[in-house]
Amino acid sequence: MGINRMGFGGDPGEDVTSPQPAFMGTETQQAYWFLGSLVNLRVTGENTGGSLAVLEHRNEYGYAPPVHRHLKADETLVVLEGELRAELDGESYTAGAGGAVFLPRLLAHSFLITSPTARYLTLHTPTGFEAFTREAGTLEDGSGRPSQAPPTSEELRRIAARYDIEIIGPPPRL
């Protein structure tokens, strides 16, 4: 069994390529208004060969995305500040600062911000969610507010489907 640079086994003669190191300074990162959330694209698929995307979200009390599931990607939420209630296939879990929630592909989920404000990371493996954010969102222009309205529910469903995300239902409520 061959060993690639990441230390994992592979078949002899297998052409294994690894992502190249990359530095993503804040001057090259983009921010988008996405469904009422300010989202900074910290690490994108362009930086990691499609293996990982890291997005930083800032939300206020009561924010919640529609119930949805990712058909081909896993998602992890890491709460940096504040608190959220994760809704996972009908079960509720609370995560505060330092807490994390792993959401395997195909799991119906959403979350709800239960503190005055919250800041959290989402990690997506493989990537694609950042492209969804770009298409469904609006580039932050420095004004501190979105420059256009978010997509309608039907538009959001169509855009999400292009990125293997299925919108299942409305956002959870407080």
Share of the chain above pLDDT 90, in %: 77
Q: State yes or no: pLDDT of 163 exceeds 70.
A: yes
Residue with tokens 């990712």: 70
pLDDT for 47-71, tens place per residue?
A: 999 999 999 999 999 999 999 999 9
What pLDDT was estimated at residue 120?
99
For the beta carbon of residue 29, count every other beta carbon within 10 angstroms: 14
The token pair that represents 49 in the structure block: 């060969």
Interval 99-122 mean pLDDT = 98
Q: Rounded to an integer, what distance in angstroms lies between the CA atom of residue 127 and that of residue 19?
A: 13
Mean of the per-residue pLDDT values of the chain:
90
Classified by CATH at the fold level, domain 27-139+150-169 comes out as Jelly Rolls (2.60.120)
Q: State yes or no: pLDDT of 1 exceeds 90.
A: no
Residue with tokens 């896993």: 74
Q: State yes or no: pLDDT of 11 exceeds 70.
A: no
CA 101 to chain centroid, in Å, comes to 12
Span of 7-21, 49-63, 128-142 with lowest mean pLDDT = 7-21
For the chain, domain boundaries? 27-139+150-169
Closest CA to 122 of 69, 39, 36, 56: 56
Cβ neighbors of 51 (< 8 A, separation 6 or more) are 19, 45, 125, 126, 127
pTM over cut 0.75: yes
